[in-house]
Amino acid sequence: MMLTSPFKRLRGVARRFVQACIVGTALVAASTPAFAQQKLVLGAKNFTEQYVLAEVTAQYLRALGYDVEVRSGLGSTLMRSALENGQFDLVWDYTGTAALVYDKLTEKLSPEAMYERVKELDAPRGLVWLNASPLNDTYALGLPSKFAQETGITTISQLAEKMKTDPNAKHYVFGMDAEFANRPDGLKPLLATYGMNFRRSQMKQMDPGLVYTALHNNQLTIGLVYTTDGRVKGFGVVPLEDDKHFFPPYNATPVVRKEALEHNPKLAAQLNALSAALNNDVMQDMNKAVDLDGKSAQEVAAEFLRTHHLP
């Protein structure tokens, strides 16, 4: 009887061990959900709202079993470039930013038309705009609460009329950031649209954050604010309705690379559910909790997810 050499027996054992490992790996892969096999990289910009949106999204998706890495702190164009280049899989972006900054559109569009246009333009780039949220982080003219209550003004047109009839209008002070004051689509066309006039001495260029403090302290009569900024609610600022629709819509929307959606079949529906739960009041509260109440974005996100029962 021929005896098998020890080396051959060892080779046989090693071969069977390798085959078992391959089979075991295949079984694990087959039983693992597709979305868990690939990390999702979530990009975010460099301001409070974006930090909060990124944290809410990351916590929500991790609870569903996804592996999510967050990379935040970028400007709009850098974040967009990283998304186009495949460094990010998903981001929260704004319809107005895409239309005006990325696509250089100049025509006035309704919120619905703007969303459809940027969605259409991004489709050939492999970028999918999911459902836009009701959250519209656009500009507004804000009044101190006392002045708003005394005058009953709720729209920019009413403010313009008040300026024509009030003898004290020459003392109104309008505060805004330097960018808006000098943009070709900023201050001058706004005043022309509503028929308002201010002397140079009545217009103050200042840091955007100081506008809220000055309104709160009644040092300004009018201030340029952002509709979802937590300081609007925290400082009692009253944003006026833009009844002539001068300011473009900036609806926050999940934008996802097509490949990520193909690898994760449930992701679109899950992000759409999150998008539907966001609005200006909800976002103001979360931004306020971070900017004024001293909470972390992680704490605020966890509280949001505890109180909103998402699928």
Domain residue ranges in the chain: 37-136+250-307, 139-239
Query: Which residues 6+ apart lie within 8 Å of 127 measured at CB?
Result: 83, 84, 255, 256, 257, 258
What is the separation of C-alpha 129 from the centre of its chain, rounded to a whole number of angstroms? 13
- The answer, as to whether pTM is greater than 0.75, is yes
For domain 37-136+250-307, say whether CATH 2.60.260.20 is its number. no
**Same fold for the domain at 37-136+250-307 and the one at 139-239?**
yes
Indicate the fold that domain 139-239 takes in CATH.
D-Maltodextrin-Binding Protein; domain 2 (3.40.190)
- 200: number of Cβ within 10 Å: 5
| Predicted pLDDT at 309 | 87
| Nearest to 267, CA basis, from 66, 74, 108 | 66
| Six token digits for residue 201 | 């001495």
- State how far the alpha carbon of 38 is from the alpha carbons of 14, 54, 65, 89, 270, in Å: 31, 18, 11, 11, 17
The three-point CA angle 165-178-196 to 5° equals 15
Query: What are the residues facing 222 on neighbouring strands?
Result: 174
Per-residue pLDDT of the chain (311 residues; tens, 9 = 90+): 334 444 334 344 444 443 444 334 333 333 334 444 579 999 999 999 999 999 999 999 999 999 999 999 999 999 999 999 999 999 999 999 999 999 999 898 999 999 999 999 999 999 999 999 999 999 999 999 999 999 999 999 999 999 999 999 999 999 999 989 988 779 999 999 999 999 999 999 999 889 999 999 999 999 999 999 999 999 999 999 999 999 999 999 999 999 999 999 999 999 999 999 999 999 999 999 999 999 999 999 999 999 998 98
